[in-house]
């Protein structure tokens, strides 16, 4: 088993202080004592022209601080920074832990966005093209959602609209989309895992900004929330043979983990690889539902 002491975070949204983490400098207190930090998508507002320069500066500061402290930094891309990294997922503990941002789970990436129809169309187009190049279904899905995420800002600029909390106030049905997706999210993740033969016992993601821990189909699904709205982020640590979920506390001097974990799970690579028998009957190439059908 990987012996690196690992911290997993997501949705920092650096570069947009009112709707994300205030500064990269505040994270140095959080990774103290760890060997590696995995930033699981939406690290910064790279997609947003107004915030892009500040976001890029904050990311460089984040990486400089990790280097200063001797902490390995691994960045996975999300839908707000789709091309910040070529990495879309990572596995730990011999495959027992699967980590991805979470935008891959829905065909429209962000069903509450004004650009959801365009993103779903691009997602499916890219997926078909990638599958014809003999990519695995999982890798094709991950790369297709990356391309679809890039389309969002282009479409929003055309429409002169924004996918934001304030924007939802003039589109109240979008709030219902968010609430609906929050409710269904654990089941959607579990179904995706079955369809794509993800044999991990733990799936760690972000994207929806709703923190939580759920048990589905023999798997533990963990969403680490967001440093942006509603601002209740969680951190996941993998140390020795334990996976722990922590509340992240904020002060003027920096972020820290809470005094004790909210959840603790033993890691047993052999014993925890278990699946319901029905999962074995799901074919990898089974059709993926549309946004309307999910």
Task: Using alpha carbons only, give the angle 14, 227, 200 rounded to the nearest 5 degrees.
Answer: 105
Q: Which of 33-37, 123-127, 160-164 has the lowest mean pLDDT?
A: 160-164
In this prediction, residue 165 carries a pLDDT of 53
67 or 284, which is more confident? 67
Domain spans of the chain, in order of start = 6-102+178-281
- Report the pLDDT averaged over residues 58-75: 98
Q: Single out the residue of 187, 100, 177, 178 nearest to residue 141, CA to CA.
A: 100
CA count, 13 A, side-chain hemisphere, 24: 20
Distance separating alpha carbons of residues 2 and 275, to the nearest angstrom: 23
Query: Would you say the pTM of this structure is higher than 0.95?
Result: no
273 or 263, which is more confident? 263
- Report the pLDDT averaged over residues 184-196: 97
Cα dihedral 82, 84, 85, 90 in deg (nearest 10)? -70
In this prediction, residue 274 carries a pLDDT of 44
H or E element in which residue 145 lies: helix 137-159
- Report the pLDDT averaged over residues 251-280: 74
In this prediction, residue 283 carries a pLDDT of 34
Confidence class of residue 48 from pLDDT cuts 50, 70 and 90?
Answer: confident
Residue with tokens 């603790």: 264
**Beta-bridge mates of residue 98:** 91, 203
Cα dihedral 19, 250, 259, 74 in deg (nearest 10)? 60
Q: Which of 4-8, 40-44, 67-71, 228-232 has the lowest mean pLDDT?
A: 228-232
What mean pLDDT is reported for the chain?
A: 87
Q: Which CATH architecture has domain 6-102+178-281?
A: 4-Layer Sandwich (3.60)
H or E element in which residue 60 lies: helix 52-68
73 pLDDT exceeds 90? yes
In this prediction, residue 273 carries a pLDDT of 47
């Amino acid at each position: 088993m990987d012996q690196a002491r690992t911290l997993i975070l997501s949705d920092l949204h650096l570069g947009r202080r009112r709707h994300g983490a205030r500064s990269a400098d505040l994270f140095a207190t959080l990774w103290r004592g760890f060997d590696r930090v995995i930033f699981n998508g939406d690290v910064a507002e790279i997609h947003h022209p107004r915030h892009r320069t500040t976001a890029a500066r904050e990311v460089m500061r984040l990486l400089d601080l990790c280097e200063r402290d001797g902490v390995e930094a691994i960045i996975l891309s999300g839908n707000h920074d789709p091309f910040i990294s070529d990495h879309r997922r990572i596995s730990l503990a011999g495959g027992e832990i699967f980590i991805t941002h979470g935008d891959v789970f829905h065909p429209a990436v962000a069903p509450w966005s004004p650009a959801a129809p365009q993103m779903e169309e691009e997602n499916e187009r890219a997926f078909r093209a990638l599958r014809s190049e003999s990519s695995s279904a999982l890798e094709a899905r991950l790369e297709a959602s990356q391309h679809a995420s890039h389309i969002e800002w282009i479409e929003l600029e055309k429409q002169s609209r924004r996918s934001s909390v304030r924007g939802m106030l003039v589109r109240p049905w979008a709030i219902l989309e968010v609430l609906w997706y929050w409710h269904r999210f654990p089941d959607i993740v579990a179904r995706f895992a079955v369809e794509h033969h993800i044999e991990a016992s733990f799936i760690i993601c972000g994207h929806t900004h709703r923190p939580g821990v759920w048990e589905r189909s023999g798997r533990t699904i963990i969403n680490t929330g967001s440093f942006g709205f509603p601002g209740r982020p969680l951190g996941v640590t993998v140390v020795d043979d334990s996976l722990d979920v922590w509340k992240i506390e904020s002060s003027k001097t920096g972020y820290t983990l809470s005094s004790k974990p909210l959840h603790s799970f033993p890691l047993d690579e052999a014993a925890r690889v278990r699946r319901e028998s029905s999962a074995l009957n799901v074919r990898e190439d089974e059709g993926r539902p549309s946004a309307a059908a999910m």
